[in-house]
Amino acid sequence: MTETTRSVIITGSTSGIGRVLALAFARAGHQVLIHGRSEERARQVAEEVRAEGGTAAWVTGDVSEPGTAAALIQCATERFGGVDVFIANAGVVMMGDFLDYPLDDFQRSIAVNLTGLLLGCQAAARRMVEQGRGGRILTLASVGANHGQFGFTGYGTAKAAVLGLTRVMAVELARHSITVNAISPGPVMNEMLLGVYGEERAALRARTIPLGRLAGPEDVAGMALFLASPAAGYLTGQQFLIDGGATAAGVYSIEVLQRAGG
């Protein structure tokens, strides 16, 4: 492993934002460990990475199970010589009105979006400490962690907790030269968003964003590459919003705008 080549683990990287992250880090010359629940899709993304000239391996499993985090670290250590960057991207979105929100959906949201993130970051941080060369941990939160949004009972709660955990990790791991930062995207145009919103609602949501469009996965990847780079070495415990100016404008919800006649 050269000074410019890093070992990068990206959870939930078989589709959506995670897949684009994997390809972006591969193009930047890093070794990438793909993760997802589907073996077929994990293998496919690994092949895409290799087609770009990158180095890839893959691990499957549910991030809410402790064994998955252990398998990720073991694979990265055996194949790439360790772990330099860990990106906790895996997540699930289960929308529903608060008054009728199923307990099972809430518990699953917490298990994947929060507990799974904890397990992965903890395992990666332990390995980074053992290596003694520092490291970077990136968590994927959401603008939904900062503002109440319709239907976000499980997701918004979990992502708000991710911000708290990110700050705790940043403080505790700083003495080991490990930085921890959160990336909080607004709505990102991908299969997951279309499945949750539908095309009409996605178009309405774009109208609430000052830049006039939804984010693309590449917008998130650009921030992740920066935060993993030497240029971001003094940044830790921060949240970086990828929202096209929506927070600055104070616009968060289609439903609130519709009720106000906007």
Catalytic site residues?
A: 142, 155, 159
Sign of CA dihedral 172, 113, 116, 29: negative
Cβ pair 114, 139 in contact under 8 A: no
Buried b (16+ CB within 10 A) or exposed e, 245-260: ebbeeebbbbeeeeee
Strands 55-60 and 31-36: parallel
**Angle between helix 217-227 and 16-27 (nearest 10):** 50
CA–CA separation, 37 vs 159, rounded Å?
Answer: 21
Question: What are the phi and psi torsion angles at 85 (to 5°)?
Answer: -135, 130
Written as six digits, the tokens of 59 are: 């691990």
Conformation bin of residue 135: beta by default, left when phi > 0, alpha when psi is -120 to 50: left
